[in-house]
Structure 1
């Protein structure tokens, strides 16, 4: 019987796998420069301040005019473009005005290229705690949010 019809002996597949040369490693990306992480962190601090103070000047510093927010609501995609979200921030009662304790935290920053990054943050708005995934791009040396995907992670009981 030819090779096509041959039955491999028991255990042969494992031996063949062990005999394979190691897979070529994917080249590692260079580590992001510390200055980029610091610059993104500063932009995220402005974002936290926007959420806490509802300051539109700061909003305009950190949200790109083409940005949008995304979430799922009752199984449906919810999209809020920049102008609508800016209006909502303007109308919102600032958590700062009621001395709400802050729970801001940067959970993760991943620099994908010198001009593209991703950040995951936690922010509290009154009794709700959100996990926000922020896609940020660098425009003229400044990191700005172009997309925000958010999730209501938990609710804090009123004191």
Structure 2
């Protein structure tokens, strides 16, 4: 990119993602994920592929980390802007007992940064007792 990017809208989108992962408030889901998004990653040594609609349903049916008073961990590890409308953001986030490293592909669609693809990796699993 040759122009100086305004990162604030993208950072706000990443914050919406972190908040959704913690409170599972699916009323905000469409402000985080594009309707065509897909999620890919390994869980229990198997590649999981989820359409975004299945992921939304999973959030609805599972108690949120917030409701369990689970610790909140979130950090941005990398931002790579391909253009003013496309970015890759690498984050670390804890969702209940799982700590993930996620690669989030963002596209700016009608002025809003949305995740169009998520690739996740379970980096750590915490004991349910908190250790």
Match of 1:89 in 2: 59
Task: Kindly indicate whether the alpha-carbon contact (under 8 Å) linking 1:32 and 1:111 is maintained by their aligned counterparts in 2.
Answer: no
Q: Alignment partner of 2:12: what SS?
A: helix
Q: Alignment partner of 1:95: what SS?
A: coil
**Where in structure 2 are there 5+ consecutive unaligned residues?**
none
Are 1:30 and 2:10 an aligned pair? no
Task: Kindly indicate whether the alpha-carbon contact (under 8 Å) linking 1:49 and 1:58 is maintained by their aligned counterparts in 2.
Answer: no
Match of 2:20 in 1: 50
Match of 1:6 in 2: none
- Higher Cα Rg, which structure: 1
Q: 5 Å matches for 1:6-155?
A: 29-30=1-2, 32-33=4-5, 35=6, 37-73=7-43, 76-155=46-125
Q: CA deviation at 1:72?
A: 2.9
In 2, Cα distance between equivalents of 1:105 and 1:131 = 10
In 1, Cα distance between equivalents of 2:57 and 2:81 = 30
Match of 1:5 in 2: none
Aligned length: 129
| Regions of 4+ moved over 6 Å | none
In 2, Cα distance between equivalents of 1:58 and 1:155 = 27
